């Protein structure tokens, strides 16, 4: 297979793909309406096209990956479907991780932090929020369609869908002290995931222990709680009390 060349033709290709989508939609609408389109028809068609971009996100994601590969870029791609959960969790928890796991973070930095949050994201999707990747990708697509190329990580973290995912991820951590069984599960998942990564990427082993993980999870829950709007947090606390007959800890999610 011929090597893909770098260059702005990838952007032209993306523009052509988008134009083809628009043309097919307009053509179908025009045929359905006997060959004419009113202003109202065009507005309706426009809304359908914008909504349809979310369904065709795979096209744009693959185009971006092709462009990065052709340019031989080694830059992080933090918002792919496989990476977006780890990216969001790291944005909330990196300061806590650097504090709790200071020796490892200082010695290995990115080579340690990335597999740590990848492993934690693996635990979250397995045990806390199975549809986190889909929901976060939907939020990313919506933000992209609304703000176009001006998405910021801070803006994405304030998106309602993202806040709800974070709340779902952190809700089990609101019970203080965090149950030892949960802490052990997280340790096992993170250490195991990181070990598999280290075997293939020659990365340092994670090997976190329960005492460290309990502190990290408590700090993470506190950081996430600070991001949840007061009204949403209060509503969730009331539901918790109704369901369990107990009040939540000072970490309210």
Tens digit of each residue's pLDDT (9 = 90 or more) over 227-240: 887 655 444 444 44
d(CA 128, CA 172): 8
Q: How many angstroms separate the Cα of 5 from the Cα of each of 63, 68, 77, 203?
A: 13, 10, 20, 31
The set of residues, in sequence order, having a beta carbon less than 8 Å from that of 44 and lying 6+ positions away, is 29
> Domain residues of the chain, as ranges?
9-70, 84-244
Q: How many CB atoms lie within 10 A of CB 113?
A: 18
Choice between 10 and 210, residue whose per-residue pLDDT is larger: 210
Q: Which residue has the tokens 């032209």?
A: 12
Residue among 183, 185, 190, 253 at smallest CA distance from 223: 253
Residue 73: predicted pLDDT: 75
Specify the pTM: 0.77
Ordered alpha helix ranges (H), the chain: 9-32, 39-55, 57-70, 84-100, 102-108, 110-123, 132-147, 153-157, 160-170, 180-201, 210-227, 230-244
Quick one: which of 82, 94, 116 has its CA closest to 224? 94
CA atoms within 13 A on the CB side of 160: 3
pLDDT digits (tens, 9 = 90+) for 86-145: 999 999 999 999 999 999 999 989 989 999 999 999 999 999 999 999 999 999 988 887
């Amino acid at each position: 297979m011929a090597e893909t060349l770098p260059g702005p033709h990838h952007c032209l290709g993306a523009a052509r793909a988008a134009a083809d989508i628009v043309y097919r939609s307009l053509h179908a609408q025009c045929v359905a309406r006997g060959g004419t389109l009113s202003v109202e028809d065009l507005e309706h068609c426009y809304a359908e096209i914008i909504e349809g971009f979310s369904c065709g996100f795979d096209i744009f994601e693959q185009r971006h990956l092709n462009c990065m590969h052709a340019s031989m870029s080694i830059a992080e791609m933090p918002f792919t479907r496989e990476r977006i959960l780890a990216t969001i969790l790291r944005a909330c928890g990196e300061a806590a991780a650097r504090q709790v796991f200071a020796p490892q973070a200082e010695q290995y930095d990115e080579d340690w932090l990335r597999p740590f949050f990848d492993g934690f994201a693996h635990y979250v999707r397995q045990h806390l929020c199975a549809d986190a990747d889909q929901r976060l990708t939907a939020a990313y697509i919506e933000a992209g369609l609304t703000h176009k190329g001006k998405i910021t990580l801070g803006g994405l973290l304030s998106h309602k869908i993202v806040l709800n995912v974070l709340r779902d991820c952190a809700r089990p951590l609101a019970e203080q002290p965090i149950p030892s069984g949960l802490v052990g599960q997280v340790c096992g998942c993170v250490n195991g995931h990181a070990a598999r990564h280290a075997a293939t990427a020659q990365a340092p082993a994670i090997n976190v222990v329960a005492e460290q993980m309990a502190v990290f999870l408590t700090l993470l829950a506190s950081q996430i709680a600070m991001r949840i709007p007061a009204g949403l947090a209060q509503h969730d606390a009331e539901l918790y009390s109704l369901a369990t007959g107990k009040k939540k800890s000072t970490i309210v999610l």
